[in-house]
């Protein structure tokens, strides 16, 4: 199912047309859901049904062995999923997360690209499983998982 550009996608397109637009948009999303700001995420790319969020490796997101902490990565994956969902969901539907299942597949020793993606046909009432993956700078998947959303119809006003 395709839908015309919604408010989040329109905002993204408008803001990113300016210098430092992706940085500004990333800050805006982090203000809407302040916990995301703890990893200083950068929305690198947003299209219908896909979002890429970059988390820079820095002391504030590292664990005791010097790799990016998996909870920081999960935070980035959730931001990617939420931003993608808000920018992609058809207007007659709404979503809420129900759970996250992830596997740690490799050490996260570099900056991390968090990607959330669905197929357009998945936007149906019921459970929707969003594929989420986190990649290091060599393209190695360091976290692989799914975020389960509950999709319902919006109440008629």
Domain count, the chain: 1
* Average pLDDT over all residues of the chain: 94
Q: What is the pTM of this model?
A: 0.92
Is residue 145 assigned to a domain? yes
pLDDT tens per residue across span 54-81: 999 999 999 999 999 999 999 999 999 9
Is residue 105 assigned to a domain? yes
CA dist 5 to 27, 80, 89, 120, Å? 21, 18, 10, 14
What is the distance between the alpha carbons of residues 100 and 81, in angstroms, rounded to a whole number? 11
Tokens 């509950």 correspond to what residue?
Answer: 150
Question: 106: domain CATH number?
Answer: 3.10.129.10
Residue 152 pLDDT greater than 60, yes or no: yes
Residue ranges making up the domain that contains 36: 7-153
Is residue 18 assigned to a domain? yes
Burial of 73 (0-12, 13-18, 19+ CB in 10 A): buried
Task: List residues bridging with 117 in a β-sheet.
Answer: 50, 131
Is residue 87 assigned to a domain? yes
Is residue 2 assigned to a domain? no
pLDDT tens per residue across span 84-118: 999 999 999 999 999 999 999 999 999 999 999 99
């Amino acid at each position: 199912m395709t839908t015309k550009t919604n408010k989040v996608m329109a905002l993204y397109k408008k803001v990113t047309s300016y210098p430092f637009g992706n940085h500004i948009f990333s800050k805006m999303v982090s203000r809407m859901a302040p916990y995301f700001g703890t990893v200083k995420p950068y929305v690198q790319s947003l299209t219908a049904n896909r979002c890429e969020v970059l988390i820079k490796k820095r002391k504030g997101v590292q664990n005791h062995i010097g790799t990016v902490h998996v909870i920081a990565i999960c935070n980035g994956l959730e931001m990617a999923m939420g931003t993608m969902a808000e920018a992609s969901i058809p207007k007659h539907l709404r979503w809420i997360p129900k759970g996250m299942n992830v596997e740690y597949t490799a050490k996260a020793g570099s900056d991390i690209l968090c990607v959330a993606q669905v197929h357009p046909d998945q936007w149906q009432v019921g459970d929707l499983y969003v594929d989420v993956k986190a990649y290091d700078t060599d393209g190695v998947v360091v976290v692989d998982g799914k975020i389960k959303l509950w999709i319902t119809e919006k109440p008629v006003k």
